Amino acid sequence: MKGRAIVIGGSIGGLFTAALLRKEGWDVNVYERVDVELAGRGAGIVTHQPLLDVLENCGAGIKDLGVVSQQRSAYDRAGNVTRKFDFPQLVTSWDRVQNLTRQTIPDSHYHLDHWLDTFEETGTGVRATFKNGHVDEADVIIGADGFRSAVRGQLFPEIQPQYSGYVVWRGLADEADLPKDITDTVFKDFGFYLPENDGEVIGYPIAGRDNNLQEGHRRYNWVWYRVVDQAELDDNLTDANGTYHDISIPPPSSGPR
Ligand SMILES: Cc1cc2nc3c(=O)[nH]c(=O)nc-3n(C[C@H](O)[C@H](O)[C@H](O)COP(=O)(O)OP(=O)(O)OC[C@H]3O[C@@H](n4cnc5c(N)ncnc54)[C@H](O)[C@@H]3O)c2cc1C
């Protein structure tokens, strides 16, 4: 055994790190604050070679990773194609990436319902204390606990996230619910629409529920990026019932108001 590692955060960053360390002979324990297996976060993920490489290298593999669209199409406001060219693109989903990497970590080393409270250096390594009272010691601790990382927060409290200046509206439509003229055309391509002075809309096919890749059972993923100022951001994060959400309005809430 090369060493012991504690990984905080059981999402895809933590899983990649844990899987790669395990392949190198490390004893790794992953701690995730959520108390159920993570699922259903985000939607489509456009793949690039580094993602495929890390999936292969960490032992997760790329089996049934996603849907390939062969062409890219740009549309005008009326829905006419203004440009089209060949550009094969494999698109996967957050769920599939998480699911493949999760399978590389034995349940005995993946601990749900463990919320890191604090950690301290011991002289020979590090000791992590969790809100449920659990304590673990290892040679290193790795913060893969997201953009509001508690690990980073303890080391560098002055570093705070800044609003990037844009929001994203996103949605999924079941292939079976779409009209045939859409499944024969728009559905197949990686599509772009650039509304004048109002961000960008993209859309592409992804796997259906339970990673179903069969024709007729896939989904169409669309994303609309919009530049909004801070006041409008707060409004965008307030749902139809007037409840403000920190990062995004989760289903089944509807909104914004
Ligand atoms: C609503 C939404 C939709 C998105 N959709 C897409 C998409 O479609 N395509 C795409 O490419 N990217 C998408 N992203 C971005 C993508 O989710 C992130 O880039 C990716 O998940 C980052 O992975 P991560 O493991 O670094 O962090 P995260 O996924 O943020 O995971 C951090 C994990 O750490 C856990 N954690 C936090 N604090 C503690 C603690 N103190 N103790 C224990 N555990 C802790 C959290 O519960 C979480 O599971 C989306 C993000 C959001 C918010």
Q: Is residue 28 part of a domain?
A: yes
Pairing of strands 27-31, 4-8: parallel
3-state class (DSSP) for residue 186: helix
207 located within any domain: yes
> Residue 106 domain-assigned?
no
Most distant CA atoms of the chain, gap in Å = 66
Among protein residues, the one whose CA lies closest to atom 49 of ligand 1: 11
pLDDT per residue, tens digit, the chain (257 aa), is 789 999 999 999 999 999 999 999 999 999 999 998 877 666 788 999 999 999 999 999 999 999 999 999 999 999 999 999 999 999 998 889 999 999 999 999 999 999 999 999 999 999 999 999 999 999 999 999 999 999 999 999 999 989 999 999 988 899 999 999 999 999 999 999 999 888 999 999 998 888 889 999 999 999 999 999 988 999 889 988 899 888 888 777 766 66
Looking at the structure, tell me whether residues 147 and 23 fall in a common domain. Answer: yes
Order the strands of the 116-121 sheet from edge to edge.
116-121, 126-130, 135-138
Smallest CA-to-CA distance from 31 within 59, 60, 6, 2 is with: 6
Q: Does 149 share its domain with 241? A: no
Number of structural domains in the chain: 2
Are both 26 and 68 inside the same structural domain? no
240 shares its domain with 120: no
Q: Do 136 and 194 share a domain, yes or no?
A: no
Whether 184 and 235 map to the same domain: the answer is: yes
Of 7, 8, 11, 58, the residue with max ligand 1 atoms within 8 A of its CB, to mutate for a pocket test, comes to 11
In this structure, are residues 211 and 96 in contact, taking their beta carbons and an 8 Å threshold? Answer: yes
Q: Same domain, yes or no, for 168 and 247?
A: yes
Domain limits at 194? 45-92+163-257
103, 138, 155 - which closes a domain: 155
105 within some domain: no
96: helix, coil or strand? Answer: helix
Name the residue at shortest CA distance from atom 10 of ligand 1: 45
In a domain, 174, yes or no: yes
CA distance 216 to 207: 10
